[in-house]
Structure 1
Amino acid sequence: MKTRVIAAAAAAASTVVLTSLPASAASLDGKDPYSTGCNSGAYSVKSSYITNQLGDALGTAYLYWSPGCKTNWTEVRVPTYGYGSANVYTDDGRSALFSYSAGNGGHHWGNMLYAPGVCAWGTATVITGTGTVNHGSGTTARACG
């Protein structure tokens, strides 16, 4: 009888260990880096201006990397009244597309893609008013990790 109790306790303990392992790729793809805590220790690896058709800068796009979560995402800094998209892509064909609204002090970020050992890049758009000179886009260079 004692053997069964010990075996049951060992099985319960191994279940606890398994559930505390790092998140899988599927559980991080498309998630918010700030609500998951993946922003902690993360840093910008590439950046690009978001420019209009005349080459005027309307904001900046940043490709971020989280060494702890092994994820990439795109952040933008634009005027507070700007709205648009912040997207991240990987060489293996995945993407996380995100649209943002005006506000939040002009700081917006897209969702993550789990990407250890995969190249990634970010794109962003912003609309700050009417007319094409108030529409901008930008693409970061690729970063491979």
Structure 2
Amino acid sequence: MKTRVIAAAAAAAAASVVVLTALPASASSLDGKDPYSTGCNSSAYSVRSASIKNQIGDSLGSVYLYWSPTCKTNWTEVRVSTSGHGSVNVYTDDGRSALFSYSAGNGGHHWGNMLYAPGVCAWGTGTVVAGTGTVNHGSGTTADACG
């Protein structure tokens, strides 16, 4: 009888640990989702932007940090040459990030996935590789926005 009670208590403790690690307090069902397929883009606007520059300061595009007041999410978008490929990332000051790599095409307009971020600061980064040589590689970081 005691063996069953101990086994049941151990199973219950293990289950509660799994729940705690699987669902951190900052998690949201929108984390990691596409802002356009979820409709979060419909109310969104750009809160910060920056140039994507190469090592000598030439602009290779722009990076934007977006905020959706309806979904309470942030994400990063870039506008670069249609032949460019690279990555976008959104960061929050509570230690989360959402990296997304993009391929050439889509008219040079690319975006990453969202992070639920009410009441926290966020910022975005973008990179582009638009050809060979370091003058065709660039990066940019927006200032942070706190909401």
Under a length normalisation based on structure 2, what TM-score does the superposition of the two structures give?
0.82
SS at match of 1:39: helix
Q: Deviations over 1:1-25 (max 9, x none)?
A: xxxxxxxxxxxxxxxxxxxxxxx94
Q: Deviations over 1:26-77 (max 9, x none)?
A: 2100000000000011000000000000000000000000000000000000
CA RMSD of aligned residues (A): 1.0
**Which amino acid letter does the alignment assign opposite residue 97 of structure 1?**
L
CA distance in 1, matches of 2:38, 2:59: 31
SS at match of 1:63: strand
SS at match of 2:46: strand
Higher percent of residues as helix? 2
- Alpha carbons of 1:76 and 1:66: their partners in 2 closer, same or farther (altered >3 Å)? same
| Pick aligned residue for 1:48 from 42, 47, 50 | 50
**Which amino acid letter does the alignment assign opposite residue 31 of structure 2?**
D
Structure 1 residue ranges, 4+ long, deviating more than 2 angstroms after superposition: none
Q: Provide the identity percentage.
A: 84
> Which residues of 2 match residues 91-130 of structure 1 at below 5 A?
91-130=93-132
CA distance in 2, matches of 1:139, 1:126: 12
Aligned to 2:87: 85
**Which amino acid letter does the alignment assign opposite residue 104 of structure 2?**
A
Aligned to 2:140: 138
Where structure 1 has 5 or more consecutive residues not aligned to the other structure, the ranges are 1-23
Aligned to 1:13: none
Where structure 2 has 5 or more consecutive residues not aligned to the other structure, the ranges are 1-25
Q: Work out whether 1:70 is the aligned partner of 2:72.
A: yes
Under a length normalisation based on structure 1, what TM-score does the superposition of the two structures give?
0.83
Q: Deviations over 1:86-142 (max 9, x none)?
A: 110000000000000000000000000000000000000000000000000000000
- Count matched residues: 122
Aligned to 1:8: none
CA distance in 2, matches of 1:63, 1:35: 18
Aligned to 1:12: none
Aligned to 1:4: none
Aligned to 1:34: 36
